[in-house]
Amino acid sequence: MFLKGKRILIGITGGIASYKVYELIRLLIKEGAEVKTVLTPSALNFVSPTVLSTLSGKESYWDWNYRRPLIHIDLAKWCDAFLIAPATVNTISKLACGIADNLLTATWFACHKPKLIAPAANSVMLSDSIICENLKRLKKAGVEIIPSDEGLLACGDVGEGKLANVNLIRDYLVKALTPQRWKGKTVLITLGSTKEYLDPVRFISNSSSGKMGLALAKAIFYQGGEPILVAGDIKVDIPHWFRKFTVDTSEELLKLCLELFPSVDAVFMNAAVTDYRFKETFRGKLKKKEQTLKVELDPTPDILKELGKRKDNQLLVGFAVETENLIENALQKLKRKNLDAIVVNPAEVMGKDRYEGILLTKDGRKEEIKTSTKEEGAFLITKKVAQIFMEDPQWERKYR
C-alpha cells in the first residue's frame, strides 16, 4: 500500500555494509516500488552492478558515458525519493560541502525530491566532531538522517555505526513519501492485553495481540509524529527503534499512562484492558482441591475515564469492541469518558487480517473504515483523526 508505484533511487557508497542493499531492494520491490541504483566508483569494490540490476530489474549506474551525458538529471527527475545507503563519512562530507565529483553526488544536487541518508561507519569516525557537524548541516538542509544501529562492526569494535535495519530504512522511506499530518506531535499508544493475577502463576486476561496498536504507532511515525508505546502482553515484536514501556496489570498501565499523559499531545488507547480483577489474591500458588473454588471479581480501573478527567489540550481517542448496538454503545462510552473520538469494531472481525471499524467523534461525525489489512486501517484512522481535529478550522486552535 505505502510504496506501491513509488520510484526509489538508492545511492550506494564504498562501505562494507553495501551488501545489505541487496536485501533492501528485494523488500522494496516486494512492496511494489520501482528501484534504480547509482553507485560511487568505490562502491564497485563491494557490490555488483549485475546483481543490482537483476534484483531491481533496472539498469545500474556508476559513471557518465557518451550515450547518457545527462543521466544525473534523468535519475533526479525519475525518482520520488533519493536514499543513500550506506553513506560513508566521505560521501557525507562531500554532500555537506557541496562537492559533486561523481555521478552519485552530482545526482544528489540535481534532485529536489525527498532525500535520505543512512550512515554506516566505525563508531569513532561517525562520532568525530567534523562528521557530526556535517550531519547537522545536512539535517538543517532538510535531509532525513536514518539513525545507525549498534552492534558488532566490521572492524571488530562494538558500538554505533552499523547500517540501520532494512525495515527501519523502509519505514523512513514511507515517512518521506507521506504527508506529515502528525509532525511535531507526541502520541501515546497503548496496546496488547493486561493480566489480573489470582496467585503468582494464574491470571485472567484476553487474546489481544497488540498488532493493531503497533500498526497505529507505525502510522503515526509515517506521518511525522513521535509514538510512545505502552505495551501489555503482546504477540508482536516491537521494533527496537520505537520508544516503549511494558506493563503487566491494569493498575500498572493506569500509573504509567497518568505519568506520561501531561507530556503528550494525543492518546490512542488501543490496549485491551481486562475489565475485572480478583477481589482476593494469594501470595503463594493455590493447590488444587476437590471442592469448587469460588472467587469474587471487582472492576479494574477505568483508565480512559481517568485520562478524560485530566485532559487539557490532549486529543483522546478510545477503542471499543461490540457485539450489538455498535454506534449507540460507542457514543455512550465516548460521552461517559470525555473522549474526542472513539473507534468501534464489530466483534466478528477480531483476530482477522482485514480491518473494519467506525470512527465517531464528539461533534457527531461518522467515518466507516474497511480495509484489507490492519496496517491500512490504522493509517486511515490516524489520517482521519488528524484531518478532523488538526486540519479542520473548528478544532485547529485547540489542537495545534
- 49-58 residue pLDDT tens: 999 999 999 9
| Same domain assignment for residues 206 and 122 | no
pLDDT at 394 over 70: no
| Same domain assignment for residues 120 and 229 | no
| Same domain assignment for residues 28 and 145 | yes
| Same domain assignment for residues 104 and 224 | no
Domain assignment of residue 38, given as a range: 7-176
Joined grid coordinates for residue 316: 483522546
Instruction: With respect to residue 266, please indicate whether it lies within any of the assigned structural domains.
Output: yes
The model's confidence at residue 66, banded by pLDDT at 50, 70 and 90, is: low
The model's confidence at residue 290, banded by pLDDT at 50, 70 and 90, is: confident
The model's confidence at residue 101, banded by pLDDT at 50, 70 and 90, is: very high
- 238-280 residue pLDDT tens: 998 999 999 999 999 999 999 999 999 999 999 999 999 999 9
Q: Which of 147-151, 188-192, 362-366 has the lowest mean pLDDT?
A: 147-151
Instruction: With respect to residue 245, please indicate whether it lies within any of the assigned structural domains.
Output: yes
Q: What is the model's pLDDT at position 396?
A: 55
Instruction: With respect to residue 2, please indicate whether it lies within any of the assigned structural domains.
Output: no
Q: How far apart, in whole angstroms, are the C-alpha atoms of residue 23 and residue 20? A: 5
Round the CA-based radius of gyration of the chain to a whole number and report it: 25
Cβ-contact 193, 275 below 8 angstroms: no
| Same domain assignment for residues 81 and 207 | no
Of 134, 149, 176, the one marking the end of a domain is 176
Instruction: With respect to residue 42, please indicate whether it lies within any of the assigned structural domains.
Output: yes
- 328-370 residue pLDDT tens: 999 999 999 999 999 998 877 766 778 899 999 998 999 999 9
CATH at 124: 3.40.50.1950
| Same domain assignment for residues 164 and 190 | no
Active site residues: 155
| Same domain assignment for residues 131 and 233 | no
Instruction: With respect to residue 40, please indicate whether it lies within any of the assigned structural domains.
Output: yes
- Angle CA(149)–CA(151)–CA(154) in degrees, nearest 5? 100
Of 155, 176, 197, the one marking the end of a domain is 176
Q: Is the dihedral of CA 44, 47, 50, 52 positive or negative?
A: negative
Residues sharing a CB contact under 8 Å with residue 31, sequence separation 6 or more, in sequence order: 2, 3, 4, 170
| Same domain assignment for residues 99 and 137 | yes
C-alpha 90: how far from its chain's center? 30
The model's confidence at residue 100, banded by pLDDT at 50, 70 and 90, is: very high
| Same domain assignment for residues 225 and 207 | yes
pLDDT at 301 over 80: yes
| Same domain assignment for residues 170 and 26 | yes
| Same domain assignment for residues 225 and 111 | no
Of residues 22, 20, 15, the one with CA closest to residue 45: 15
Average pLDDT, rounded, for the chain = 92
Instruction: With respect to residue 172, please indicate whether it lies within any of the assigned structural domains.
Output: yes
Instruction: With respect to residue 181, please indicate whether it lies within any of the assigned structural domains.
Output: no
Domain count, the chain: 2
Q: What is the model's pLDDT at position 399?
A: 58
Instruction: With respect to residue 249, please indicate whether it lies within any of the assigned structural domains.
Output: yes
CATH at 244: 3.40.50.10300
Of 176, 196, 226, the one marking the end of a domain is 176
| Same domain assignment for residues 290 and 268 | yes
